[in-house]
Amino acid sequence: MKEKFKIFKEVFDQYTLKTLYKLSNDGYIKELGGIISTGKEANIFYAVDEENNPIAVKIYRIETSKFKREKYIIGDPRFEKKQKLSSKRGIIDIWAKKEFKNLEKAYKNNIRVPKPIIQMNNVLIMEFIGENEKPAPIAKDNPPKEPKIWLEKILNSIMTLYQKSGLVHGDLSEFNILNFKEEPVIIDMAQSVLRDHPLSDDLLLKDIKNILTWFKKLGVETPNANEFFRKVKGNV
């Protein structure tokens, strides 16, 4: 395992490597594989645990990160700790914990997201979505064969996420949904906010409009965005 980590020394700083060593020693990571995806804020690696179960290891970049996160953290009583917000490393650690907690809340309410396993510092381990070491494609690259059914499922997930989990995704689109065996799996929930967050209404309406716009392009008749927004909020 240590030899595998050495390959990535040019990518990961010592803080990240120490975190990975700790997770390895604790039995969460047996073998780290190749990169699943590289995003604006993190790299995701394929890995296996001590029982050879496939897992996804999301590593939030510290030094190269330029994404502005503070507006999603300030106003959230779960993570609003000013002493940690004063450093880039502290912000990234909160960001990783934020995604873990958000995934946890969604998963407990039967929303199809990757099951979170553990978070430590800037590393998040979660369920691998895919098979035979091949990750499921994003919906943008592999649209559903039955988009009307998908629309119903995703709108229901938006409503359940808000009404039962108390969350708004905040960046929902065809780029943050995986198509796994023709089932939608929602990903990337670090920026998700509590429904009483100052930004929640704006983000909720944005999510709804993004999804409806995409499905219109797929030829599906969609509801009015403002009417669905009111429906989501109406039962809370």
User: What superfamily would CATH give domain 2-133?
Assistant: Phosphorylase Kinase; domain 1 (3.30.200.20)
pLDDT, residue 145, reads: 97
pLDDT tens for 176-225 read 999 999 999 999 999 999 999 999 999 999 999 999 999 999 999 999 99
- Measured CA to CA, the distance from residue 113 to residue 19 in angstroms comes to 24
Residue labelled with tokens 């999301």:
58
Instruction: Find the catalytic residue in 26, 76, 93, 188.
Output: 188
β-strands 167-168, 193-194 pairing:
antiparallel
Q: Same CATH topology for 2-133 and 136-234?
A: no
Q: Which strand (E) or helix (H) includes residue 177?
A: strand 177-180
65 is written with which tokens? 């990160």
Quick one: pLDDT band at residue 64, thresholds 50, 70, 90? low
Residue extents of the structural domains in the chain: 2-133, 136-234
Q: Is residue 66 scored above 60 in pLDDT?
A: no
pLDDT tens for 7-26 read 455 457 888 889 999 999 99
pLDDT, residue 53, reads: 95
Instruction: Find the catalytic residue in 76, 171, 196, 201.
Output: 171
Q: What are residue 166's phi and psi, to 5 degrees?
A: 70, 35
pLDDT tens for 91-121 read 888 899 999 999 999 999 999 999 999 999 9
Q: Which residues pair with 185 in a beta bridge?
A: 178
State the average pLDDT for the chain: 89
Hey, what CATH class is 136-234 in?
A: mainly alpha
What's the whole-model pTM score?
A: 0.90
Residue 201 is a catalytic residue: no
Question: Average of pLDDT values for 63-91?
Answer: 69
Q: Which strand (E) or helix (H) includes residue 209?
A: helix 200-217
